[in-house]
Structure 1
Amino acid sequence: MYAIIETGGKQFKVKVGDVLKIEKLNVEPGNEVMFDRVLLFQGNEGVKIGSPYIEGLKVKAQVIETAKDKKVLVYRPPSKKAVHRLKGHRQWYTKVRIKEIIGG
């Protein structure tokens, strides 16, 4: 049994017990969050496909932590002169554990 949810502009295939790194949510660690944008659900009865979302189906998850990811280096090579740039960026993320799929 699994579901495909949408959060932060991305889609994730989830099942109970999975741990995901998603875009940062403004939720304290230890609290629960509900994802109601479920695109697809596969269970014992078969596959349900939403248009675009499935009504009445939600995924409950518990927030583990909010932190910054590893540094990503962005390098801009020189065009005509010997001027180049090297920048770094660390993206915030929220780590969640999927607890249950409700309504499926």
Structure 2
Amino acid sequence: MYAVIETGGKQFKVKVGDVLKIAKLNVEQGNEVVFDKVLLFQGNEGLKIGSPYVEGLKIKGEVVETGKDKKVLVYRPPSKKAIHRLKGHRQWYTKVKIKEIIGG
């Protein structure tokens, strides 16, 4: 049994017990989060495809941690003036453990 959810502008295939690393959510560590944007669900009864979302289906998860990802370097090569830029960026993330699928 699995589902495809949408969060943070991205889609993730999830099943019970999975740990996802998604864009930062404003939820404290240890609290529960509910994903209601379910695009697809595969269960015992077959495949349900939403248009755009499956009605009455929710995914419950628990926030494991929130932090910053590894540094990504952004380099702009020199143009005519030979001035270059090197910047670093660390993206915030939230790790969520999937607890249950409700309505499936």
CA distance in 1 between counterparts of 2:23 and 2:75 reads 24
**Which amino acid is the alignment partner of residue 28 of structure 2?**
E
Q: Which residue of 1 aligns with 2:6?
A: 6
Q: Separation in 2 of the partners of 1:23 and 1:82?
A: 36
Give me the whole-angstrom Cα distance separating, in 1, the residues matched to 2:51 and 2:60. Answer: 21
Count residues with an aligned counterpart.
Answer: 104
Unaligned residue ranges in structure 1 (runs of 5+) = none
Cα distance, 1:79 vs. partner? 1.1
Q: Is the deviation greater in 78-87 or in 34-43?
A: 78-87
Match of 1:76 in 2: 76
In the other structure, the counterpart of 1:24 is 24
User: d(CA) in 2 for partners of 1:50 and 1:79?
Assistant: 48
TM-score (norm 1): 0.98
Residue 86 of structure 1 deviates from its aligned partner by 0.3
Whole-Å separation in 2 of the counterparts to 1:82 and 1:49: 53
For normalisation by structure 2, the TM-score amounts to 0.98
- Give the secondary structure class of the aligned counterpart of 1:22: strand
Query: What's the C-alpha RMSD, in Å, of the aligned pairs?
Result: 0.5
Offset at residue 90 of structure 1 (A): 0.4
Determine the structure 1 residue equivalent to 2:35.
35
Query: Unmatched 5+ residue regions in structure 2?
Result: none
Percent of aligned positions that are identical: 87
